[in-house]
Amino acid sequence: MKEQSNTLIFIDFEFSMPDGRGSSGFFPEIIEVGLVCVKDRKLMNQYSSYVRPRVFKRLSRRCRSFLNISQENVDSGITLAALVKHLSSINDDGQNTVITWGNMDMKVLKQNCEKARLSFPFTGDFVDLSMEYKRFFGDRNQTGLWKAVQEYGKDGIGNHHKALDDAMTTYHIHQLVEKDKRYLNKAEPTTIGDRIDLAKLQNLLVQ
């Protein structure tokens, strides 16, 4: 990923999920948002909120258990329309890059907007950091968010599957990857002496 001078928006959403096969026509709805805004490598602000599901209003037992989110949490959250309005307010006329771990966050946001007949709030660039990570390290398979940060010898921020904590963890992985890229770009080429043990070569020549 090339160096960015515009605003970076790290986003993570948590989605509703069905029990078993789920209700007829079920689709995932955003029930929690966490985002971190960074400009010129400085953390500018962060935002977190629960979001009320618009269609399938009752959370499944599986969803409550897996995400540790209660029905009361989402009932007290903002509406999808309010979420989209907030995201539009930080869009900065498209002079930003939205960064997520995986491609599901933007897919579900687009689907939720379409079903609610709301305008998609972002017009900037989009980066799937999990794919950047995969290409950078030459991994064959896509790596999970918290496994990726652990491969750096670090710990994730807070609790996994907590939207703001996952957004912050994505931000930290981005920092680590960009630091490695800058190091590789600045690294001086090795000399022949670095690549060959000259003492061993000399001994071979005199034998």
Q: What average pLDDT does range 113-142 have in this prediction? A: 89
Residues 168-180 as b/e (b if ≥16 CB within 10 A, e otherwise) read bbbbbbbebbbee
Q: What average pLDDT does range 164-184 have in this prediction? A: 87
Please report, as a single letter, which amino acid is at residue 33. V
> Could you list the active site residues?
14, 161
- Name the packing angle between helices 129-137 and 163-186 (round to 10°): 40
Domain ranges for the chain: 7-206
pTM of the model: 0.81
Please give the pLDDT value at position 110.
Answer: 98
pLDDT tens track for 20-65:
876 788 999 999 999 999 998 889 999 999 999 999 999 999 999 9
Q: Is the pLDDT of residue 190 over 50?
A: no
Q: State the sign of the Cα–Cα–Cα–Cα dihedral 38, 89, 1, 143.
A: positive
Selected from 3.10.180.10, 3.30.420.10, 3.30.70.270, 3.90.850.10, the CATH number assigned to the domain covering 7-206 reads 3.30.420.10
Please give the pLDDT value at position 65.
Answer: 95
Strand partners, 14: 32
Q: Is 13 helix (H, G, I), strand (E, B) or coil?
A: strand
